[in-house]
């Protein structure tokens, strides 16, 4: 098969993996080598769906022994199959890299033959790149659940990021749609990577020259909308993953209907608004000091479609507002709708020089159409409807960004925006 | 009203700042001679570039204000905007009084003007780190034509010198007739007036084809969103993008 045909098949098969981030690693180039990693990550292009392209994201193969209902590569699906050799992947990566098309490689794979065989091929590929081609650019590789720990450990020494995709947010969903997979098998490589990362960090404190292990951390992906799981369950799961496994990122992937299956929902279009709300909440967990239980609960297990999670939280907690901009601690500033991590920091820096006025806040970059209902500036309140939850709610949703009837049509871009350079300042790596 | 005019070089600009600071004549604005248009009201004073004076200002910014301030000054200079020299001048007037804290004056209009332009330049630089496309035009010589809004090739070159350390390359700012060239040891800036007509070999054609194929395959058609794509990757950059240009 021609390399062009293989690329068509194996890039197409990889496109449902959301992660494309190339941040978090500062690997240096070596004498006579090619490539390095930029700590902030660099986007190299944007595809027609508006998602950033940073890495060459391909599967090593889409031949799969599993038959997971939600997955396009399931064994029962009738579609063209292909497999790259490790050498082909290395050649593609190096030649794309030399032309500055990409920031590195994101190599994933379906399970060919068995997990160990697949993991071995992935390891061979990254070793080839690092050792033969002296490639020091970014590499993200999938850890294959069920593969031998030694193989996963060995791979971790060569790459910048590893990930294991959980895909289905509950064991129930797993049983229903991917009966061949077990929760334990997914969790095992994750905890292995977490342990090794910790250990290597400790060693690095003592011996600076000791090798790094997955320096950009690990991530995972959850599919949204393929199972009956609520936003609350998904967010709780993410919170657990951040706390227990120190994950760098959890990605959410709006389920794109592929094929018909009795256990799968029939959706007109991918639930991108729901995906967007989950990303917003995810940011609140990681950078704004929120906990999942503050944002959702058993009674209200799904996010409001009209209001973002932060506004929604603020309206349910009106007793905390209004907050005086010139006095509040940064933790409280971060909880005000319309104030992000950057503007909170700018407020703290600016008020050290002089009290901030309403006009000054605008200049700092605070989104006043949301913030004004929740703040006072030098003692004065600027929301024209008074501190009334119901009225403020109306004001906030009176001009919805999204057309109410067709919420699925527009993909919002918060998640990609954060991959710009500013990510380094606010720490969203 | 007095206007200082300088020769469009960074040294010239810093000399003008020096004169404005140390003489009694306080200009209303500083303008590059590229942009200066005589009028009846203003009194034009031409400032000769002076390397000693400009070095003094350079060191003073670094020591008395901050490294960050120096970066802002240089980036705003590279924006080549007509108002840039005056914005820098007004910023430095405050900065020499305040020291490093000037960058916390986030509600001061002069500081904001400065940060705004500086950010635009940094943004474009970061964007071009990704959007620069090299083509192999001779054995081991990679050529990348670009047309950035601001004069940023000097900011791009160090990045590519670290990254593409084992290949010869040239980044050519076609609009400004300037290029950054790397010879596997170091990079330097030079003038390149001609338009390089790149004729590429079979290998280059193959990889361009592969990249275009990849670009198409990686997009999820159910999520097509050209507006979002253009937000991130404005069409003015498409001319030199392998995956987007019309061949």
Report B:42-101 residues touching A (Cβ under 8 A).
Answer: 101
* Contacts for A299 with CB less than 8 Å, ≥ 6 apart: none
Q: How far is B206 from chain A (nearest CA, A)?
A: 9
Q: What is the pLDDT of residue A179?
A: 86
Give me the residues paired with residue A162 across strands: A141, A218
Which residues lie closer than 8 Å to A318 by C-beta, 6 or more apart? A387, A389
Q: Which residue has the higher pLDDT, A415 or B52?
A: B52
B211's enclosing H/E stretch is helix B202-217
- Residues of chain A in contact with residue B226, where contact means CB-CB under 8 angstroms, are 48, 50
Answer whether residue A403 shows pLDDT above 50. Answer: no
Interface of A with B in 119-158 (CB under 8 A): 134, 137
Average pLDDT over residues A384-412: 67
In contact, A76 and B187? CB cutoff 8 Å: no
**Cβ contact, residue pair B207, A413, below 8 Å:** no
CB contact under 8 A, B218 and A269: no
The SS3 assignment for B173 reads strand
Are B215 and A15 in contact (CB < 8 Å)?
A: no
In the predicted model, what is the mean pLDDT of residues A370-376? 94
Residue of A11, A96, A99 with shortest CB distance to B218: A11
Describe the crossing of helices B51-60 and B10-22 by its angle, rounded to 10 degrees: 80
Distance CA A159, CA A105 (A): 10
pLDDT above 80 for B12: yes
Higher-confidence residue: B193 or A99?
Answer: A99
pLDDT higher at A406 or A130: A130
Q: Give me the pLDDT at residue A318, please.
A: 94
Using CB atoms within 10 Å of the CB of residue B101, give its burial: 0 to 12 exposed, 13 to 18 middle, 19+ buried: middle
Domain assignments of chain A as residue spans, ordered by start: 3-291+412-426, 309-397
Q: Positive or negative, the Cα torsion across A405, A408, A409, A414?
A: positive
How far B104 CA sits from the closest chain A CA (Å)? Answer: 5
Identify the pLDDT of residue B216: 94
Closest residue in B to A51 (Cα–Cα): B229
A411 reaches B (C-beta below 8 A)? yes
CA distance B243 to chain A (A): 9
Distance CA A14, CA A84 (A): 13
Mean pLDDT of B167-194: 94
Count Cβ atoms within 10 A of the Cβ of residue A363 and give its class: 0-12 exposed, 13-18 middle, 19 or more buried: middle
pLDDT in tens, A132-146: 999 999 999 999 999
Q: Give the pair of three-digit tokens for residue A321.
A: 């507002």
Cα–Cα distance, A139 to A193 (Å, whole number):
16
Mean pLDDT, residues B53-68: 97
Smallest CA–CA distance, residue B59 to chain A, in Å, is 26
Check CB contact under 8 Å for A354 and B142: no
Which of B134, B221, B228 is nearest residue A413 as measured by Cβ atoms?
Answer: B228
How far from chain centre, in Å, is Cα B237?
A: 15
Nearest to B97 by CA among B173, B21, B36, B10: B21
Interchain contact, B226 vs A50, CB within 8 Å = yes
Segment B105-109 long-range contacts (CB within 8 Å, at least 24 positions apart): B105/A350, B105/A353, B106/A346, B106/A349, B106/A350, B106/A360, B106/A363, B106/A364, B107/A350, B107/A354, B107/A356, B107/A357, B107/A359, B107/A360, B107/A363, B107/A364
The predicted model gives A379-408 an average pLDDT of 74
Cβ distance of A47 and B218 shorter than 8 Å: yes
**Residue B109 pLDDT grade (very low, low, confident, very high; cuts 50, 70, 90):** very high
Peptide bond into A322 cis (omega under 30): yes
Question: Quick check: A267 and A225 in contact, CB under 8 A?
Answer: yes
Q: Does residue A420 have a pLDDT over 80?
A: no
B224 touches chain A (CB under 8 A): yes
Residues of B in contact with A254 (CB under 8 A): 223
Interface test with B, best of A8, A11, A99 (most B CBs within 10 A): A99
The CA distance from A84 to the nearest CA of chain B, in Å, is: 14
- With CA atoms as reference, the chain B residue closest to A269 would be B222
The three-state (H, E, C) secondary structure of B64-91, written as one string: HHCHHHHHHHHHHHHCCCCCHHHHHHHH
Superfamily name with CATH number, domain A3-291+412-426: Aldolase class I (3.20.20.70)
pTM passes above 0.80: yes
Judge whether B246 is closer than 8 Å to chain A, CB to CB: no
Q: Considering only CB atoms, which chain A residues are within 8 Å of B164?
A: 34, 98, 100
Longest dimension (CA), chain B: 67
- Which positions in chain B touch A56 (Cβ < 8 Å)? 214
Output the average pLDDT for chain B. 94
Contact B118, B75 (CB under 8 A): yes
What's the pLDDT score for residue A106?
97
- Nearest residue, CB atoms, B130 vs list A3, A42, A92: A42
SS3 labels along A388-404: CHHHHHHHHHCCCCCCC
For residue A178, the model assigns a pLDDT of 86
From the CA of B128, how many Å to the nearest CA of chain A? 8
- Summarised one tens digit per residue, pLDDT across range A244-274 is 999 999 999 999 887 677 788 878 788 999 9
Establish if A319 touches chain B: CB-CB under 8 angstroms: no
Are the C-beta atoms of residues B161 and B187 closer than 8 Å to each other?
yes
Give the up-direction half-sphere exposure of residue B166: CA atoms within 13 A in the CB hemisphere: 16
pLDDT in tens, A304-346: 999 999 999 999 999 999 999 999 999 999 999 999 999 999 9
How many angstroms separate the CA atoms of B61 and B89, rounded?
A: 12
Rg (CA), chain B: 21
Q: Is B40 on the interface with A (CB under 8 A)?
A: no
pLDDT value of residue A426: 41
DSSP string, A342-390: HHHHHHHHHHHHSPPPHHHHHHHT--HHHHTTTEEETTEE--TT-S-HH
Give residue B198's pLDDT: 66
In A358-397, the residues whose Cβ lies within 8 Å of chain B are 359-360, 363-364
User: A314, A374 in Cβ contact below 8 A?
Assistant: yes
* A181-213 confidence digits (pLDDT tens): 888 888 999 999 999 999 998 888 888 888 889
Interchain CB contact of A261 with B (< 8 Å)? no
Helices (H), ranges, A83-182: 86-98, 115-127, 149-156, 171-177
Rounded to a whole number of angstroms, the CA Rg of chain A reads: 23
State mean pLDDT over A117-137.
97
Facing residue for A49 by CB, picked from B162, B209, B220 = B220
Compute the distance between CA of residue B118 and CA of residue B101 in angstroms, rounded to an integer.
17
Cβ A50–B215 below 8 Å, yes or no? no
Does B214 contact A99 at a Cβ distance shorter than 8 Å? no
Contact A270 B166 (CB under 8 A): no
- Asked if A101 lies within 8 A of B211 by C-beta distance, the reply is yes
What is residue A34's three-state secondary structure?
strand
pLDDT exceeds cutoff 60 at B80: yes
Per-residue pLDDT at A407: 41
* Token reading at A110: 């379906």
Q: Nearest by CB to B226, from A12, A40, A48: name it.
A: A48
Helix (H, G, I), strand (E, B) or coil at A139: strand
Nearest to B7 by CA among B41, B54, B52: B54
Could you tell me if B205 lies within 8 Å of chain A, comparing CB atoms?
A: no
pLDDT per residue as tens digits for the range A2-33: 999 999 999 999 998 888 889 989 999 998 89
pLDDT in tens, A266-289: 787 889 999 999 999 999 999 999
Q: What span, in angstroms and rounded, lies between the C-alpha atoms of A345 and A288?
A: 12
Q: Give the Å distances, CA to CA, from B105 to A280, A358, A360, B2, B57.
A: 30, 15, 10, 28, 22
């Amino acid at each position: 098969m021609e390399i062009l045909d293989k690329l068509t098949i194996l890039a197409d098969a990889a496109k449902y993996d959301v992660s494309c981030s190339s941040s978090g690693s500062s690997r240096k180039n070596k004498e006579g080598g090619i490539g390095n990693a930029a700590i902030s990550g660099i986007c190299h292009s944007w595809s027609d769906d508006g998602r950033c392209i940073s890495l060459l994201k391909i599967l090593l193969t889409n031949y799969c022994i599993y038959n997971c209902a939600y997955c396009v590569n399931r064994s029962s699906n009738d579609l063209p199959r292909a497999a790259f050799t490790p050498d082909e992947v290395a050649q593609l990566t190096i030649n794309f890299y030399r032309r500055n098309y990409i920031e590195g490689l994101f190599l994933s794979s379906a399970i060919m033959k068995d997990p160990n065989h697949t993991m071995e091929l992935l390891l061979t590929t990254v070793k080839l790149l690092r050792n033969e081609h002296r490639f020091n650019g970014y590499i993200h590789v999938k850890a294959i659940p069920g593969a031998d720990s030694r193989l996963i450990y060995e791979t971790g020494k060569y790459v910048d990021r590893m990930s294991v995709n959980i895909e289905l947010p509950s064991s129930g969903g797993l049983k229903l749609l991917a009966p061949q997979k077990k929760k334990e098998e997914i969790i095992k490589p994750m905890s292995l990577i977490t342990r090794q990362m910790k250990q290597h960090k400790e060693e690095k404190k003592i011996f600076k020259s000791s090798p790094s292990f997955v320096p950009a951390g690990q991530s995972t992906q959850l599919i949204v909308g393929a199972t009956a799981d609520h936003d609350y369950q998904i967010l709780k799961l993410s919170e657990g993953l951040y706390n227990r496994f120190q994950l760098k990122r959890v990605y959410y992937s709006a389920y794109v209907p592929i094929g018909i299956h009795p256990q799968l929902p029939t959706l007109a279009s991918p639930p991108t608004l729901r995906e967007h709300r989950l990303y917003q909440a995810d940011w609140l967990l990681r950078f704004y000091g929120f906990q999942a239980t503050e944002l959702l609960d058993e009674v209200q297990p799904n996010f409001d479609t009209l209001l973002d999670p932060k506004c929604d939280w603020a309206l349910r907690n009106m007793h905390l507002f209004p907050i005086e901009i010139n006095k509040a601690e940064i933790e409280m500033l971060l909880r005000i709708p319309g104030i992000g991590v950057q503007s909170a920091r700018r407020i703290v820096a600016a008020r050290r020089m002089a009290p901030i006025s309403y006009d000054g806040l605008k200049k700092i970059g605070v989104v006043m159409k949301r913030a004004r209902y929740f703040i006072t500036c030098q003692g004065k309140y600027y929301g024209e409807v008074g501190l009334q939850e119901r009225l403020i709610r109306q004001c906030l949703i009176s001009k919805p960004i999204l057309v109410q009837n067709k919420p699925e049509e527009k993909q919002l871009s918060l998640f990609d925006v954060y991959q710009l350079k500013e990510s380094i300042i606010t720490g969203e790596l | 009203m007095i206007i200082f005019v300088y020769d469009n070089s960074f040294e010239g600009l810093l000399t003008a700042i020096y004169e404005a600071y140390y003489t009694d004549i306080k200009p209303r604005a500083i303008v590059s001679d590229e942009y200066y248009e005589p009028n009846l009201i203003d009194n034009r004073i031409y400032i000769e570039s002076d390397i000693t004076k400009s070095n003094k200002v350079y060191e003073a910014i670094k020591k008395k204000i901050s490294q960050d301030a120096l970066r802002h000054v240089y980036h705003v200079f590279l924006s080549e905007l007509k108002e840039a020299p005056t914005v820098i001048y007004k910023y430095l007037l405050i900065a020499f009084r305040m020291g490093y804290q000037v960058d916390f004056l986030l509600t001061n209009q002069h500081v904001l003007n400065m940060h705004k332009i500086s950010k635009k330049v940094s943004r474009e630089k970061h964007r071009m780190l990704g959007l620069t496309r090299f083509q192999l035009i001779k054995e081991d010589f990679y050529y990348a034509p670009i047309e950035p809004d601001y004069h940023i090739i000097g900011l791009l070159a160090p990045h590519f010198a670290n990254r593409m350390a084992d290949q010869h390359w040239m980044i050519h700012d076609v609009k400004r007739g300037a290029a950054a060239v790397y010879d596997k040891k170091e990079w330097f800036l030079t003038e390149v007036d001609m338009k390089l007509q790149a004729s590429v070999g079979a290998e280059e054609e193959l990889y361009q084809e592969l990249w275009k194929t990849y670009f198409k395959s990686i997009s999820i058609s159910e999520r097509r969103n050209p507006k979002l794509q253009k937000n991130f990757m404005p069409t003015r950059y498409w001319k030199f993008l392998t995956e987007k240009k019309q061949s």
